[in-house]
Structure 1
Amino acid sequence: MTAMLSLAVAPWQRPPVLLRHADVPHYAASTMKVAVLAAVHRSGLDPDREVPVVNRFPSAAGGTYAHARAEDGDPEPWARLGGTAPLGWLATRMVSHSSNLATSLCQSAVGHAAVAEVWRRAGASAATGSPRGIEDAAARAAGIDNTVTARDLIRLLASLEPEVLARLEHNAHAVDLAAGLPPGTRLASKNGWVDGVRHSAAVVHPPDAPPYALAVCYTGPLANGQDTGDPAARLLARLSARVWACRHRLAEMPT
């Protein structure tokens, strides 16, 4: 497998000051859940609306797909299978514990067009989009895939409402970029990983410097697909630590 590392760093709400292969598309993994979260927020749907918790969804390639319980790291939505759950609660679990089942339920509630509109509004390139569900294997086999670039993840974060960013501050997976920061550092982040892929995007709020956004996408053999003990996760943590060390200079760097 050929390795590709992409990186984008930007003072918050400003153009990037550091780019490395930032426009190369990668499989999105769970970073696409940020766009679904924004679509739920902008839909106007009542967050207390009860959503039937099912495990059968329309495939972007036709037919249906279902999630594998063993592949989902969040057991809480599965405990409600056959019942209902509030839409807002599902959206929170989607990003705080990266629930795949909650993601498809939220995506079904708002529709794929609403998620596409989030990327369009963010100014994402043609290389980025989330046209299928997170585990829609038939669609992926048909060439319908979710992709991101490091630059577009920065654009997406910059387009989010404060309420949406606040949800990302409750990410329970304090690995990747978070692991390269001093303990207790405030950040709004979302990561994603599968075998061969490790990504993370965050808005970091140092107590002694202006906030900045950082996105790193890695595709290659270092990524073992595990939530912990992943060499690629340690690589992202080292990159995060290096950017942190330059935090005072970021706002002064030319764009």
Structure 2
Amino acid sequence: MTLPTAAAPDEAAVSHCLLDVEGHVLSAAGAARPYYAASTIKLHVLVAALRAAEQGMLDLSAQVPATRTFRGADGRPFTLEGDHLDPTHPEDGEPVQVRELLTRMIDRSSNEATNHVLALLGLEAVAATIADLALGATRVERLIGDAAALAEGATNETSAADLATTMLAAVRPVPVAPRGAPEPLLAAASRELARDVFGAQQIPVIATALRDGVRWGSKSGWVDGYRHDVAFLGDPDGAAVRVLAVMTAGMAPAEADRRITGLVRTLLPDLTA
């Protein structure tokens, strides 16, 4: 089954954004350009879910019945099938912990888990996190596979700059500067959970260019015509940690991976093999 996603890109493009530990831009090209986000939206969903848990609005220890059926923008149920499915996901009705849904959403990019978390949260919670981070190119407007929402023009998109900003805020005590709040976006326990799930990533791209011994965590995303990755590189508690986001369009997967890993080697020679 073909995933309902977005129109194929009409040109090849590569954008990147590299941030230091304080969020200063070390290197960027086309970093503000919006791309269809593919599974990188799961980064924003994770951060929104952790914030909801901190506010007592989501219980990460709760057991919920697994499902592949969700309500679309037209109010009708739709069921994920074919390319959407993760063969390791619990069968419908089997109990699964909310914390496990967050892990599956990131480490194996489970669409079932992502939609389930969005159903528990609501798209409004993700929009609030996007606003608090002042992300200029990010829109999370629909569940994955919601053909009705896609037909209405709803999309999920982001930029390399927004991905890098969100990853840094997920793993470092970054203040919510746009609102003037001195508190970090996430509490220490939430940042530690985020680091763990990013570090369990089963589908890395950026990390394939790193030398042994470099700590990293990432969230990749891909559909036909688009391939992206964002990663923290180094000890998140150390002064030398950096965050790199690379987004590509209009390339075959092997070429996109070559361009992404080539940027890693060019921008971060001290970390690469």
Short-chain TM bin: 0.7 to 0.9
- Provide Cα deviations, 1:134-192, integer angstroms capped at 9, x if missing partner: 22222123210000000111111122242223321111113x21111113421121000
Match of 2:101 in 1: 90
TM-score normalised per structure 1: 0.86
CA–CA separation in structure 2 for the residues paired with 1:115 and 1:122? 11
Which range is displaced more, 192-201 or 38-47? 38-47
CA–CA separation in structure 2 for the residues paired with 1:231 and 1:137? 29
CA–CA separation in structure 2 for the residues paired with 1:89 and 1:60? 26
Aligned to 2:20, which of 3, 11, 18? 11
Aligned to 2:77, which of 64, 69, 78? 64
Query: Contact 1:60 / 1:131 at 8 angstroms: preserved in 2?
Result: no
Query: Contact 1:35 / 1:115 at 8 angstroms: preserved in 2?
Result: yes
CA–CA separation in structure 1 for the residues paired with 2:35 and 2:75? 24
Match of 2:88 in 1: 76
Q: Kindly tell me the number of residue pairs found equivalent between the two proteins.
A: 237
Q: Following superposition of structure 1 onto structure 2, how do residues 1-255 of structure 1 map, counting pairs within 5 Å?
A: 1-44=10-53, 45-72=58-85, 74-77=86-89, 79-125=90-136, 127-160=137-170, 161=186, 162-163=191-192, 164-174=194-204, 176-205=205-234, 210-223=240-253, 230-245=254-269
Identity over the aligned pairs, expressed in percent? 32
CA–CA separation in structure 2 for the residues paired with 1:138 and 1:183? 45
**Displacement after TM superposition at 1:198 (Å):** 0.4
Query: Contact 1:94 / 1:100 at 8 angstroms: preserved in 2?
Result: yes
Query: Contact 1:187 / 1:203 at 8 angstroms: preserved in 2?
Result: yes
Query: Contact 2:23 / 2:165 at 8 angstroms: preserved in 1?
Result: no
Where has structure 1 moved over 4 Å in runs of 4 or more?
A: 206-209
Query: Contact 1:177 / 1:200 at 8 angstroms: preserved in 2?
Result: yes
Q: For structure 2, which runs of at least 5 residues remain unmatched after alignment?
A: 1-9, 171-185
TM-score normalised per structure 2: 0.81
